[in-house]
Amino acid sequence: MTEPVVRAEAVTKSFGHVRALRGVDLDVFPGEVVCLIGPSGSGKSTFLRCVNHLEKVDSGRLTVDGELVGYRRARGKLYELRESEICRRRADIGMVFQNFNLFPHLTVLQNLIEAPIQVRREPKAEAVERARSLLERVGLSDKERSHPAQLSGGQQQRVAIARALAMRPALMLFDEPTSALDPELVGEVLEVMRGLAADGMTMIVVTHEMGFARESADRVVFMADGVVVESGPPDELLRAPKHERTRAFLSKVLA
């Protein structure tokens, strides 16, 4: 049996009095596409942010590629990671945000080559070449000189996906990538994500797009109140949920 890329065991995280995660258990295997669904405030974003070291886990075990998030094991002890080590691990995980968060002062091409050059120390020519092929893949070859503000939301999100891919991540995290888009622009972003899934990328996707979940996910995970309520293959979970909460949520989303 292969090792999971992400393994969460009883992961908890609180913000003051708010218990965002109350013991999340979840495994994600290589090449798997997992869709995280659930009501707003159920801790989906917090979970993704923990995986990417943007939030610190309070208790439980969270490993990415077999390494404990936030710690390094040496001589039988756990050492809290230094900032530079955290950065190195984040570099291997791609993240796509709801609001794109492209760098507005850089052109599209510069957005894509910034991290490969600054973080990975790739030679510029190599980074540019790879950036161009990624832009072609997301269908935006003609926009490399544009600034983000000149692009539509759908185009910006596709650039953001390409920017994450430029770091050659082993895992991609998507936090509601289409929620900020006008309805007619959702399709082009999902199209890119479908392509990625078909290429075997390991993905965790927080989404309300049930069509995408049904079509592209290997597994759908329903979260509520900071725990995983149930998970299963899309047609099982979406068609015949076992839990009342899942049923209630789905009836609202699919209505």
Partner 1 sequence: MTLKILPSRRTGTVGLDEVVVPRRHPWRWLLAGLLLLLVVMIVEGLATNPAMRWDVVGDYLFAEPVLEGLLMTLRITVLAMLIGIVLGGILAVMRLSGNPVLLAVSLGYSALFRSIPVLVQLLFWFFLSAVLPKIGLGVPFGPVFVEAETNSLISRFGAALLGLGLAEAAYMAEIIRAGLLSVPRGQSEAAAALGMPPGKALRRIVLPQAMRFIVPPTGNQAISMLKMTSLVIAISLPDLLTSVQTIYARNFLQIPLLTVACFWYLVMTGVLSVGQYFLERRFGKGAST
Site for partner 1 (CB under 8 A): how many residues? 32
Binders of partner 1 among residues 87 to 106 (CB under 8 A) are: 87-95, 97, 99, 101-106
Which among 192, 190, 214, 218 has a CA at the least distance from the CA of 204?
A: 218
One-letter amino acid at 249 equals: F
Contacted entry of Mg ion, ligand ADP, partner 1, none for residue 42, CB cut-off 5 to 8 Å set by kind: ligand ADP
Q: Is 123 in the site for ligand ADP (CB under 6 A)?
A: no
Binders of partner 1 among residues 34 to 63 (CB under 8 A) are: 52, 54
Q: Is 45 in the site for Mg ion (CB under 5 A)?
A: yes
Candidate residues 10, 68, 115, 210; the one interacting with partner 1 per rule CB under 8 A:
115
For 52, half-sphere exposure in the C-beta direction (CA atoms, 13 angstrom radius) is 25
Instruction: Please report how close the Cβ of residue 238 comes to ligand ADP at its closest, in angstroms.
Output: 18
Q: Is 12 in the site for ligand ADP (CB under 6 A)?
A: no
Residue 176: DSSP 8-state: S
206 versus 238: smaller Cβ distance to ligand ADP: 206
Which among 209, 116, 198, 118 has a CA at the least distance from the CA of 157?
A: 209
* Burial (CB count within 10 angstroms: exposed 0-12, middle 13-18, buried 19+), residue 189: buried
2 versus 40: smaller Cβ distance to ligand ADP: 40
**Total H helices, total E strands in the chain:** 9, 12
